[in-house]
Chains A and B, each alone.
Chain A
Amino acid sequence: MSWHVDPAVMERYARQEVGPADAASIEAHLVDCGACRARLHVDPARLDRLWAGVADVVDEPSRNPVEALLRQLGVRDRTARLVAATPALHMPWLVAMAVTVALAVVAATAGDRGFLFFLVLAPVLPIAGVAAAYGPRVDPMYELTVAAPMPAFELLLLRSTAVLTSTVLLVGVAAIPLAGEGWLMAAWLLPALGLTMATLALSTVMSPIHAGVGLASTWAAVAFLNVRGLAGGDATGDLASRVLAFSPAGQALFLTIAVIGTFVVIQRRETLEIRSNT
Chain B
Amino acid sequence: MTTVELAGIEKSFGSTRALDGVDLEVSPGITGLLGRNGAGKTTLLRLVATVLAPDGGRLRVLGHDPGDPDGRLAVRRRLGYFPQEPGYHQNFTAFDFVDYVAILKEMTDRNTRRDEVRRALETVGLTDVMHKKMRKLSGGMRRRVILAQALLGDPALLVLDEPTAGLDPEQRLRFREIVSAIAERHTVLLATHQTEDVAALCDRVAVVDNGSVLFDGPAPALAERASGRVWLSGGPDDGARLSWRTGDGRQRHIGDPPGGADLAEPTIEDGYLLLVGDRALVG
Show the binding face of A for B, using Cβ within 8 Å.
52, 55-56, 58-59, 61-62, 64, 77-78, 81-82, 85, 139-150, 155, 270, 273-278
User: Inside 8 A of A142's CB, which chain B residues have their CB?
Assistant: 87
Given A59-B118, A85-B100, A148-B104: A276 touches B51 (CB 8 Å cut-off): no
Asked if A149 and B76 make an inter-chain contact with CB atoms under 8 angstroms apart, the answer reads yes
Given A56-B111, A143-B51, A275-B53: A149 touches B93 (CB 8 Å cut-off): no
Question: Complex formed: what's the CA distance from A182 to B67 in Å?
Answer: 52
Asked if A148 and B105 make an inter-chain contact with CB atoms under 8 angstroms apart, the answer reads yes
Question: Complex formed: what's the CA distance from A274 to B55 in Å?
Answer: 12
With A143-B87, A149-B77 known, 20 other A-B pairs at CB within 8 A are: A56-B114, A59-B114, A61-B95, A62-B92, A62-B96, A78-B103, A140-B88, A144-B86, A144-B149, A146-B50, A147-B51, A147-B76, A147-B81, A147-B83, A148-B105, A149-B105, A149-B106, A150-B104, A274-B50, A274-B66
* Cβ of B216 under 8 Å from chain A: no
Closest chain A residue, CB of each to CB of B109: A78
What are 24 A-B contacts with C-beta separation under 8 Å? A55-B114, A59-B95, A59-B117, A59-B118, A64-B91, A78-B110, A82-B100, A82-B103, A85-B100, A140-B87, A140-B89, A143-B85, A144-B86, A144-B104, A145-B104, A147-B49, A148-B76, A148-B104, A148-B105, A149-B104, A149-B106, A274-B53, A275-B52, A277-B13
Asked if A273 and B72 make an inter-chain contact with CB atoms under 8 angstroms apart, the answer reads yes
Number of A-B contacts (CB under 8 A): 99
Q: Which listed residue, A59, A143, A148, A274, touches B86 by the CB 8 Å rule?
A: A143
Closest chain B residue, CB of each to CB of A141: B87
- Kindly provide the distance from the CB of B120 to the nearest chain A CB, expressed in whole angstroms: 13
- Kindly provide the distance from the CB of B217 to the nearest chain A CB, expressed in whole angstroms: 28
User: Inside 8 A of B104's CB, which chain A residues have their CB?
Assistant: 82, 144-145, 148-150, 155
User: Inside 8 A of A139's CB, which chain B residues have their CB?
Assistant: 87
Closest chain A residue, CB of each to CB of B80: A147
